[in-house]
């Protein structure tokens, strides 16, 4: 694809988005009926603010979901310690709940605007960020171009590029270069990720490591944990966490396979999206298993086969319930989920074969014999059975996993050093800024857009 065609493709994307914009209410409304949007905050998806803009400098941090929100928490904490206000955008209801729980009123949370020019322009006109920081693999063409047109520095941190994404961008190299040249800096997770971003036109690119290795150990309420341990007592327990569609029922079938061999076996299932809990409880119940839910029953009963962890922000509790954790989105879904939190809390890690998003991390785990990859639910059942029967092996895997996490630490400091040239002027500006003034939506929406797209001849 030539540079000319790349510009035409981006222009077509821009105008197609503007044409689709009036009809997006149906799409957002349908997501809201399925619990994927908050009814009373749908306007944020169109760039309409629900909070006042603080006076002075502002950093926009975007983290699409729960994992990315946790990964940027340390960075956000450092910004707030230095008096720099933050508006955090996420794309899911679960990540919004986590942001509220973790940051409270210290951080302004908004849902990320749709990647359509009217929504992005309204968002940027109102919030006027001095710096935009995106986590992992968030590449939204209109957002990137609008930030570039306004000369707002934009940095991709904890950057990763999957095999599939790299192939797709590589086949449209001119288009990729037209977008990635707008990035002020890319802090990649691994050398391979860094090389891929460089091949697609990003400059400069450095390697910072994985921010998720620097997140605090997931917390737990000591009183709640004590009650949980009293209920579980000496029952054999294993966990299936961050599961996606199909993996919950696979875990339930594993429970059926092992139930007779391990009397009193408790299987803890923590779906990635707790909004699916009703349908999961019904489907597992139809298998003749007794399902107890955290939201309904609080603690597992003696008769419970499956304990369904259908709450947000309690992963620290669930991961302390057992020593064996299957990490989802790897058996019936693709990409994998991060194994670092289970490893931090002393779990032996199991995962399916579809780990393209975390190949480097799982490679380290397998090299250290801290994780095992299973091809199907039968192999999963055998692996769980083996670890239940061999406590010493289970403990050795858990210790090896904690060692891998310790070796990966330091990404937060390296990322902070990457961002420091952009942040330090904002720290000074924040210290000089008067308090109490806020932006008004009406005035902000009438602000002119600087160099509105001239870079691509629009």
Among candidate residues 362, 342, 415, the one with its CA nearest the CA of residue 185? 415
Distance of alpha carbon 342 from the chain centroid? 16
Strand partners for 69: none
Which two tokens mark 259? Answer: 């139930």
Say which of 37, 68, 146, 377 is annotated catalytic.
68
Q: Does the annotation mark 44 as catalytic? A: no
Residue 271's alpha-carbon distances to 242, 283, 285, 326, in angstroms, are 5, 14, 16, 12
HEC-encoded secondary structure of the chain: CCHHHHHHHHHHHHHHHHHHHHHHHHHHHHHHHCCCCCHHHHHHHHCCCCCCEECCCCEEEECCCHHHHHHCHHHHHHHHHCCCCEEEEECCHHHHHHHHHHHHHHCEEEECCCCCHHHHHHHHHHHCCCEEEEECCCCCHHHHHHHHHCCCCEEEEEECCCHHHHHHHHCCHHHHHHHHCCCCEEEECCHHHHHHHHHCCCCCEEECCCHHHCCCCCCCCHHHHHHHHHHHCCCCEEEEEEECCCHHHHHHHHHHHHHCCCCCCEEEEEECCHHHHHHHHHHHHCCCCCEEEHHHHCCCCCCCCEEECCCCCCHHHHCCCCCEEEECCCCCCCCCCCCHHHHHCCCEEEECCCCHHHHHHHHHHHHCCCEEECCCHHHHHHHHHHHHHCHHHHHHHHHHHHHHHHHHCCHHHHHHHHHHHHHHHHHHHHHHCCCCCEECHHHHHCCCCCCCCHHHCC
- 167: left (phi > 0), else alpha (psi -120 to 50), else beta? alpha
Q: Do residues 301 and 292 touch, judged by C-beta distance below 8 A?
A: yes
The terminus-to-terminus CA distance of the chain in angstroms comes to: 19
Q: Which two tokens stand for residue 6?
A: 């790349």
Active site residues: 68
């Amino acid at each position: 694809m030539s540079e000319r065609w790349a510009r035409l493709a981006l222009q077509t994307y821009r105008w197609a988005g503007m044409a689709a914009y009036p009809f997006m209410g149906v799409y957002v409304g349908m997501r809201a009926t399925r619990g994927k949007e908050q009814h009373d905050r749908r306007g944020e998806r169109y760039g309409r603010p629900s909070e006042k803009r603080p006076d002075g400098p502002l950093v926009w941090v975007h983290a699409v979901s729960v994992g990315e929100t946790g990964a940027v928490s340390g960075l956000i904490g450092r910004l707030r310690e230095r008096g720099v206000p933050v508006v955090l955008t996420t794309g899911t209801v679960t990540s919004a709940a986590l942001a509220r729980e973790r940051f409270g009123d210290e951080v302004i949370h908004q849902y990320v605007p749709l990647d359509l020019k009217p929504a992005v322009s309204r968002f940027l006109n109102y919030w006027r960020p001095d710096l935009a920081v995106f986590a992992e693999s968030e590449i939204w063409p209109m957002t990137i171009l609008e930030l570039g047109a306004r000369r707002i520095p934009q940095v991709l941190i904890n950057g990763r590029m999957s095999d599939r994404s790299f192939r797709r961008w590589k086949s449209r190299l001119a288009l990729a270069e037209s977008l990635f040249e707008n990035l002020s800096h890319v802090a990649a997770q691994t050398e391979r990720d860094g090389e891929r971003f460089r091949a697609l036109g990003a400059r400069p690119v450095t390697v910072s490591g994985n921010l998720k290795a620097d997140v605090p150990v997931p917390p737990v309420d000591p009183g709640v944990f004590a009650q949980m341990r009293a209920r579980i007592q000496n029952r054999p327990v294993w966990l299936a966490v961050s599961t996606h569609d199909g993996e919950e029922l696979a875990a339930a079938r594993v429970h059926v396979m092992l139930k007779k061999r391990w009397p009193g076996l408790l299987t803890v299932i923590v779906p990635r999206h707790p909004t699916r809990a009703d349908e999961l409880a019904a489907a597992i119940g139809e298998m003749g298993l007794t399902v107890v839910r955290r939201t309904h029953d609080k603690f597992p009963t003696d008769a419970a086969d499956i304990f369904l962890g259908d709450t947000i922000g309690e992963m620290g509790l669930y991961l302390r319930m057992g020593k064996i954790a299957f990490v989802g989105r790897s058996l019936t879904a693709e990409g994998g989920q991060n194994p670092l939190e289970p490893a931090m809390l002393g779990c032996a890690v199991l995962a399916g074969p579809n780990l393209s998003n975390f190949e480097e991390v799982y490679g380290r785990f397998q090299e250290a014999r801290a994780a095992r990859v299973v091809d199907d639910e039968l192999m999963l059942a055998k692996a769980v059975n083996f670890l239940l029967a061999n406590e010493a092996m289970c403990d050795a895997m858990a210790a090896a996993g904690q060692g891998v996490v310790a070796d990966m630490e330091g990404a937060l400091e390296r990322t902070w050093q990457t961002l420091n040239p952009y942040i330090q002027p904002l720290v000074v500006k924040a210290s000089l800024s008067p308090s109490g003034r806020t932006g008004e939506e009406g005035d902000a929406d009438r602000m002119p857009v600087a160099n509105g797209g001239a870079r691509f001849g629009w």
